[in-house]
Chain A
Amino acid sequence: MITLLKNAKVIDPAHHKDGVVQDIYIRDGRIIAKPADSEKIGQVHDLNGKIVMAGAIDMHSHIGGGKVNIARMLLPEYQAMRKLDEPEAHICGANCSHHATPNTTDTGMRYIEMGYTAAFEPAILAVNARQAHMEMGDTPMIDKGGYAMLGNDDYLLRLLSQNADQKTINDYVAWTLHATQTIGIKVVNPGGISAFKFNERRQDLDQQHSYYHITPRRILQALSRAVNEIGIAKPLHVHCNNLGVAGNFQTTLDTMGASDGLPMHLTHIQFHSYGTEGDKKFSSAAANIAEAINSNKHITADVGQILFGQTVTASGDNMMQHLNAKVANPKKSVIMDIECDAGCGVVPFKYRDENYVNALQWAIGLEVFLSVDDPWRVFLTTDHPNGAPFTSYPHLIRLLMDKTFRNDAFDKLNLDAQAMSNLKSLDREYSLYEIATMTRSAPAKLIGLQDRGHLGVGAAADITVYTDQADKEAMFAKPDLVFKDGELVVKDGKVVKVVWGATHTAKPSFDLGVEKDIKQYFDRYHTMQMNNFKISNDQIAEDGRNHVINHTQGS
């Protein structure tokens, strides 16, 4: 059956289309060229010039895995926040909690209702990948995928400390992608999570790890090179050392140089853009960071915007979260060391606009957004749920597109924070084309999803239809229609059909000989068999809903 979207006002940056009115034809879940007149059109939606974009792709959102589930467990307080007397604005699961880390059903529902058709879990502990995939498999409506964490695992640190050759590292990285069914590699506080297990409390970029005698810079070099040489699209996803520390912008700037010019993605950069100026020794270094992103073309970044309210932060960075636990609100936290592989730290936060640091964090994120020139290299994230839940994206989009709205919000901030920010001098307002770039075309390109994030012939028919409105928050909160793989799944902001999406992976070729040493490592030191560490396609699809889409990338 062919579905026709008639008179669509297409915003498709991948094809340089900015408001071109055209017809879109869909068959078997794909966008097709205009069919012959003799072919029957099964379904017609006359859009009368409504805005049409590809489905949005969240390239960094903690939607599944151990720490997300701990976050769910940790905060029964959210149950008390439910407003049972109010009609639901959306279809809730049986126990919809309106939690910052909603259950898997609600996660999928909330995303699709906003016109997002894919989300990528950016911090899959390799040893915990099976759980992450179970949770993502139970997340309906959207496509999923993840980045496997390396760089604090004792296997890699041993290789580096023994001066292993780059080929061995490349093979191990590729083996990890296969074993964990992921599409990218992430490093969190390189070396720092491991160092915390040896009772170190900070790990600087050029400081030797106290046990392995290698530096985080060396870890970044090795991993960025491996990712590049095995040929996957997604650049190394880097959560820098010194998360959240005043003065950490220098670490961030130095980190940009650690890959020797190879592509690198610096994630939730807002949390890494802090200076030490002013009476409170905490200031914005957004201008320095944005300038460095503008001039370092090999660097991309997502922002990790904070928005005010209660949330819970879930990070692999147990070293820094152990420090942050002191300011937990409510006052509780979970810190874990995990399997000689990684760690995690889950700390609830309440960001308040009257708080100096929080207010400045809010401004810093927006300053970065507005000061980075190229929307292909800066991505719209709140580091869900760490800066704010992903459900606040429409609000964030309005802050970027509407200067008056932004400045009104700024005027309500802590006055000392206002004095320390140049936000009001930034006149930029993002266009719809730029929003489409940073939420569609750019993430698809970054991750290497050739058939997503655009509306060209052959693309998967993940399509969102909006009514253009002056209030961009209202516009992006409730699309008119959303199609997932060609099926109409959302109408007037409500789910009309439940679908399950797929899991995207990248599995570059590698020398299987590397497995001999990995197996020996497991046998000598682990508490599980290597074979049980590896996840098969069949196991991803086990309950009959999910399936793997592998992307052949690079050479």
Chain B
Amino acid sequence: MTNQQDIMHACPACGLLCDDISGDAIARQQFSCGKAAKFYARVSAGAAPAVGGSTASLAEAVKAAAALLKQASAPLVAGSSTDVHGARALVSLSHATGAAMTHINASSTLRNMKVLQHRGWQTTTLTEVRNRADVILMIGTDVVSHNTRFFERVVWVDEAMFTEPAARKIIYLGGDKLNTKPGVAPDGRAPEVIACASESLPEVVATLRALVMGKPVTAETVAGVAVSSLKSLADTLKTAKYATLVWVSKDLHYAHAELTIENITETVVALNQKSRAMGLSMGGSDGDTSVNYAHTWLNGVIIDAPEWESHDAVVWVNSYSPNAMPPAGTAPVIVLGAPDSTFDTTPAVFIPVATPGLDCHGQQFRVDGSVTLPLTAAKPSDLPTLSQVVALIEAQLKGDLA
């Protein structure tokens, strides 16, 4: 049996799910990523259930939560910041209470899902990129604001099977306040930056797609970007052995950004007629991929976006975002979440639950969708899991109804 210090933990602080976090690094709080440092610095001790802001027993809090849910005519399960096991429990709770279910990242998730459901896409995963990508184009994003160690773990690696990692061509196209420093090659070679504001990306990406498809483009500039530089970018993509076009849906936060994503993915489709290219959707947090996937296999449909005003009770789960709360005005709120939650408004019921990957084991999907990793309890605690608390609430509901 390996001892606690030898286990490599997978870090659920973002969608990259780096699984090289040693017990030693956690003990000494030494990380190359601020998100990981913040996650592993969290403390669960001292949290207790509360009803109306007053400390209560778990049984009392469960009873209060069940009573509120029983009363509600249109409850909502929201936040849903958890892992696969938590997602299963929340789907079960939504069935038991007739609740709708959504996720804290629903709007950015749905931006991608609209594209998937309208046209489909052609995408790749991190190990393919690590071993094959010779050109990496980031559109409207620096990736590292979401996935700090993207370049460390996927791009500037020591070895790759089919390409020379240090020779990769890194290109940034558009976006706001990008941190392009991680895109500098180990030998100091600077990345190419084609600057434009996020809001100009619809035009710029549409032009890139047209150029890749060989359509005539007569304009000399599009949204301030020289068409000649886009033409040269299109040629770079076409001659790449394995071009990777990266986006982060959270960074494309203007109206109808799904159309920009579709232009990215359809550029990939066009490239794949003759050469090889793939899309890569990065970002991810709060178990968004896990919850959407589990929701899909359990219900047959993807996660939905919330309509806050049409619900009269909210079950809020914030395991990876202890500071997050539903929009003001939604009530009553039952928080089944982070023991270190901070509240501006006292929720009706608060039941601290174990955070998967910190207090308890779990399973989480990586942002690229094909890989699922086990989460291990980095700092085991006695807190009940979300599944256990939901089972108690469901039992209480059944008892009440009987």
Contacts and interface: CB of A to CB of B under 8 A. Distances in A.
A79 B301 contact: yes
A542 to B, nearest CB: 7
Contact of B162 (A69, A125, A211): A211
Contacts of A529: 8, 19-20
B312 interface: no
B242 A526 contact: no
Interface in A259-283: none
Contacts of A135: 297
A491 interface: no
Contacts of A340: 127-128, 131, 161
Contacts of A105: 298
B374 interface: yes
Given A134-B294, A339-B371, A532-B373, A543 B88 contact: yes
Interface string A98-139: 010011111000000000000000000101101100110010
Nearest to B154: A527
A359 interface: no
A461 B275 CA distance: 55
B161 to A, nearest CB: 6
B139 to A, nearest CB: 19
Given A337-B124, A337-B278, A527-B154, A134 B84 contact: yes
Interface residues of A, number: 62
Interface string A75-96: 1101100000000000001111
Interface in B83-105: 84-85, 88, 94-95
Nearest to A524: B159
Scoring A75, A106, A211, A333 by chain B CB atoms within 10 A of each residue's CB, the highest score goes to A333
A70 B297 CA distance: 9
Contact of B125 (A73, A134, A336, A539): A336
Contact of A532 (B19, B154, B293, B296): B19
Contacts of B125: 336-339
A125 B131 CA distance: 18
Interface residues of B, number: 58
Nearest to B159: A524
Nearest to A347: B120
A325 B373 CA distance: 31
A197 B301 contact: no
A103 B299 contact: yes
Nearest to A99: B300
A322 B272 CA distance: 9
B229 interface: no
Scoring B95, B116, B120, B125 by chain A CB atoms within 10 A of each residue's CB, the highest score goes to B120
A103 B117 contact: no
B294 to A, nearest CB: 7
B85 A197 contact: no
A199 interface: yes
Contact of A73 (B20, B113, B272, B363): B113
Interface in B312-366: 361, 363, 365
Contact of A95 (B20, B118, B299): B299
Interface of B: 8, 10, 19-20, 84-85, 88, 94-95, 113, 116-128, 130-132, 153-154, 158-162, 241-242, 272, 275-276, 278, 293-294, 296-302, 361, 363, 365, 369-374, 387
Interface of A: 64, 66, 68-70, 72-76, 78-79, 93-97, 99, 102-106, 125, 127-128, 130-131, 134-135, 138, 154, 197-199, 211, 322, 325, 328, 331-341, 346, 524-529, 531-532, 539, 542-543
Given A76-B302, A532-B10, A543-B387, 5 more contacts: A73-B116, A138-B298, A198-B162, A335-B121, A339-B125
13 contacts: A74-B117, A95-B299, A104-B297, A197-B242, A322-B272, A325-B120, A333-B120, A336-B278, A337-B124, A341-B127, A525-B131, A527-B130, A532-B8
